[in-house]
Structure 1
């Protein structure tokens, strides 16, 4: 027996809506502390807040010093830091191993949510 046309159309519409909601479930950076392009005192931790819950096993970040006062030719240098989740599953925390010295920094991040599609980005800030 063949299903009525309206039932088939309704089923297809629901399936399409569910598929599109999964396809658009990529995490987006909502905010950061310190904020992108901010000038701050040395932060003890850097927090990145995303629009989706993160899969911490597949998400991560690198902290890079990109400039040092008085050293115009300072090459980017990776800074030792621990990357972890927080009580909020949408937040990634980067904790430097040592206090940050004055200079410019960049956080290169990779966020993965339930759709398993990695999204990359970065923020930059200056420690005064």
Structure 2
């Protein structure tokens, strides 16, 4: 009977280690459309794909115009956009209210998954 204790302890330790690594996992940005640093024709929507399902009520994004052709001192300006989930629970969709003018843009995102720890980041792209 005592010979099984080390085996049981090992199995318990492995189970706890696996459970803690899953519990502390954070969502990571896997891809975006447009891609980070891409030069594109004005997109109708921006899609962010994450490694985990998002809690949409706690996740979000801001679309910011960071530069405009011919205006060297263009201050960052928030752009009106709707942020929503999609049929894919790992995706976030940012839909500008109006067509994006030529210039440079940044999407500042906040992603929260089941571990409830917010992770932030950004992508940038240029509209031709």
Q: TM-score, normalised by structure 1?
A: 0.93
Aligned-residue CA RMSD in angstroms?
Answer: 1.4
Structure 1 Cα separation of the partners of residues 17 and 67 of structure 2: 48
Post-superposition shift, 1:22? 1.7
**SS in structure 2 of the partner of residue 63 of structure 1:** strand
2:117 maps to 1:120 = no
Q: What CA distance in whole angstroms lies between the structure 2 residues aligned with 1:115 and 1:31? A: 21
Q: CA deviation at 1:17?
A: 1.6
In 1, Cα distance between equivalents of 2:22 and 2:74: 44
Please name the residue that 1:11 is paired with: 12
Alignment: residue pair count: 126
Counterpart in the other structure of 1:32 = 32
Q: Tell me, in whole angstroms, the C-alpha distance in 2 between the residues paired with 1:33 and 1:47.
A: 5
Offset of 1:77 from its aligned partner? 0.2
Cα deviation, 1:3-58, whole Å, max 9, x if unaligned, reads 934323322321122112222x2111111011111111111100000111111011
Q: Which residue of 2 aligns with 1:105?
A: 105
How is 1:17-56 mapped onto 2 (pairs within 5 angstroms)? 17-23=18-24, 25-56=25-56
Unaligned runs of 5+ residues in structure 2 are none
